Amino acid sequence: MPDPVQAGPVVLFENIHPVADVVFDAAGFSIERHAAALEIADLHAALGPARLAGIRSRTKMNKAAFDAAPSLLALGCFCIGTNQVDLDVAAARGIPVFNGPFGNTRSVAELTLASIIMLMRGIPMRSSAARRGEWQKSATNSHEVRAKNLGIVGYGNIGSQLSVLASALGMHVYFYDTEPKLAHGNARACASLDELLEISDVVTLHVPSTEQTRNIMDAAAIAKMKKGAILINQARGDLVDIDALAGALERGDLIGAAVDVFPKEPASKDEAFVSPLQKFSNIILTPHIGGSTLEAQQAIGEDVSGKLARYVALGATKGAVNVPEIEPGQVKPGRTRLLSFHSNAPGFLSRLNDAVSASGANIAAQHLETRGELGYVAADLEGDIPSGFIDHVRALDGSIRARLVR
């Protein structure tokens, strides 16, 4: 494992689950914790000495933030999304960014399933009425979920797990994905989004935010849904045209909706949440809590901290979202591992190997991967490494970042 002085500190923001401390403690890192996202000046000051940093969704890692962290080796997003990070800036500096794409899968799927049941029974509206002293004991617009059509847009980790849970309740599951996916149980794929919208009693979104998916549920798409259907968005805030959804609810085209993510969300608990959806009683509004369970946060804490520790100790980038992925394994006794991020251009590997040869060391194993304009190589060296060798590698034409681990 790395020298703790060289590896630390790890600076963690936004109340990351304490299970991460166990991993970092075992690796010999010092840990600095901040319970919330910090104001820009405080964030930059905290990042100054950081060798590793961990954030969640509120901390924005832009160019200025990376400029403030000259010693940063890697960044961990202890969440699913990485939209809060300028991934290109990080890659250009040889800084891998890791996230936890699977840790909250069950939590989001359960919230979606609960929302489906509550909306199909008209619970939000009846609950509000009861608090006002009204006794709405009626079966109007109240249904079982059994035998209803559930349309899942995006059949990835969350969508496919929701598919299994919904099927167990007797729902007929349909899904649409831009890539071919193996159906779970009795789920059936739709050839187009329009087909899914037209047949589904409930439509739920489980796709990332991309140029293709932003406003995927605009006024035209919502108009294609069945009269009296339900729309659920617990994925990304820019997938749904909120004004179009409000209009559909106002007209009674949709019987209900559940929204956990919004185009503009409060920066903190002290900022007011404002949305045109607040006036409706047949809707479930939640404050971006799809993955906010202790179980999910623990799973993500273990996952991301483990990736960060493996990167520092071994140079492993498996699971990184912005750099070439390699898994070079343990460093064998007697060997030194050279890790180099570099421009993906002809000649660099030759220059690197020439530098190793000139040092008198022997290359016992080598792993190279490229991604776009970036290359990443791990070379296990045998023999004594002369003083100044790593400085020579860093000075090579095309070198971005280089280090040694033993």
Instruction: State residue 8's pLDDT score.
Output: 62
CA torsion sign, 232 to 237 to 240 to 244?
positive
Q: 105-285 has which CATH code?
A: 3.40.50.720
* pTM assigned to the model: 0.86
Query: Is 236 an active-site residue?
Result: yes
Instruction: State residue 1's pLDDT score.
Output: 36
Element containing residue 250 per DSSP (H, E): helix 242-251
Query: Is 310 an active-site residue?
Result: no
pLDDT truncated to tens, each residue of the chain (406 aa)? Answer: 344 434 469 999 999 999 999 999 999 999 999 999 999 999 999 999 999 999 998 899 999 999 999 999 999 999 988 989 999 999 999 999 999 999 999 999 999 999 999 999 999 999 999 999 999 999 999 999 999 999 999 999 999 999 999 999 999 999 999 999 999 999 999 999 999 999 999 999 999 999 999 999 999 999 999 999 999 999 999 999 999 999 999 999 999 999 999 999 997 788 999 999 999 999 999 999 999 999 999 999 999 999 999 999 999 999 999 999 999 999 999 999 999 999 999 999 999 999 999 999 999 999 999 999 999 999 999 999 999 999 999 999 999 999 999 8
Query: Percent of the chain scored above 70 by pLDDT?
Result: 98
Give the mean pLDDT of the chain: 95
CATH 3.30.70.260 residue ranges for the chain: 326-399
Q: What superfamily does domain 1-103+293-323 belong to in CATH?
A: NAD(P)-binding Rossmann-like Domain (3.40.50.720)
Query: Is 134 an active-site residue?
Result: no
Out of 110, 198, 265, 302, the active site residue is 265
Cα distance between the two ends of the chain: 8
Out of 236, 337, 367, 403, the active site residue is 236
Out of 93, 121, 143, 288, the active site residue is 288
Query: Topology of 326-399 in CATH?
Result: Alpha-Beta Plaits (3.30.70)
To 5 degrees, how large is the angle CA 116–CA 120–CA 121? Answer: 120
